[in-house]
Amino acid sequence: MAKLYVCKICGEPYIGGTEPDDCPFCGAPKAYIRPVEEFFVLWKTDMTEEEKKSVEETLKLEMNATAYYKDVASSQEKYSKYERLYKQLARVEQEHVDLACKFLGKEVPELKGEKSKGSIEADLARTKELESHAVELYTGFMKSSQNSKVKILFIALIHAEQGHEEIVGKEIEKE
């Protein structure tokens, strides 16, 4: 029987018999996908100046990744494996942009970022770099955050970016 679930990180709804392993929108782990009755707004919280700077840095990183992944997807053959991969990566990174803006209380800015590197091998390598950098950066942000809601944000982002890093790493091994 289908139920309505909501991701406690991004707030997006999901209809299914059980919770998915990861949020299909932001990549948060299953533990954050709860029945709709348990939802609360994570991003309406007071942040320290350091936390605001961390979320601003997150926004910049996620905007670049989103724009880059959209560009890579558009450079691939329609419905190919890599077009599908980069299209999904871009969707999740866009949700991360939206999340950072929600925490900062600002509108989503126009996306600007890197362009495709010209070969799938180069794009996969660059994607691995971007995802590894995000994991490293967000781990530091999570450790320095005092606000539990901000910590939860970075824990979820780390999980999503590690998943991206893993799938891209497997594709690099195949190439």
The string of pLDDT tens digits covering residues 80-98 is: 999 999 999 999 999 999 9
**Residue 54: band (very low, low, confident or very high) from pLDDT cuts 50, 70, 90:** very high
Q: Identify the domain containing residue 32 by its residue range.
A: 3-38
Q: How confident is the model at residue 120 (pLDDT cuts 50, 70, 90)?
A: very high
Please, what sign has the CA dihedral across residues 148, 150, 153, 154?
negative
pLDDT at 63: 98
Overall average pLDDT of the 27-51 stretch: 95
Q: Is residue 94 located within the same domain as residue 142?
A: yes
Q: Which regions of the chain does DSSP assign to beta strands (E)?
A: 3-7, 13-16, 33-35
Total domains in the fold of the chain: 2
Task: Give residue-wise pLDDT tens across range 131-158.
Answer: 999 999 999 999 999 999 999 999 999 9
pLDDT of residue 64: 98
**What CATH number does the domain containing 11 carry?**
2.20.28.10
The pLDDT of residue 1 is above 90: no
Establish if 43 belongs to a structural domain: no
Residue 150 lies in a domain: yes
Q: Encoding tokens for residue 141?
A: 């942000």
**104 and 18 together in one domain:** no
Structure tokens at 109: 């800015």
Residues 56 and 20 in one domain: no
- Here the CATH number for the domain that contains residue 70 is 1.20.1260.10
Q: Would you state the pLDDT for residue 118?
A: 95
CB atoms within 10 A of CB 126: 16
Average pLDDT over residues 124-134: 98
| 121 and 80, same domain (yes or no) | yes
Q: Is a pLDDT exceeding 90 seen at residue 161? A: yes
Give the chain's end-to-end CA distance (angstroms, integer): 41
Say if 44 falls within a structural domain. Answer: no
CA distance to 50, 74, 98, 170, per residue, from 56 (Å): 10, 27, 12, 31
pLDDT for the residue numbered 175:
79
129 and 72 in one domain? yes
Same domain flag for 162 and 79: yes
% of the chain exceeding 70 in pLDDT: 100
Q: Residue 72 above 90 pLDDT?
A: yes
| Statement to judge: residues 22 and 88 lie in one domain | no
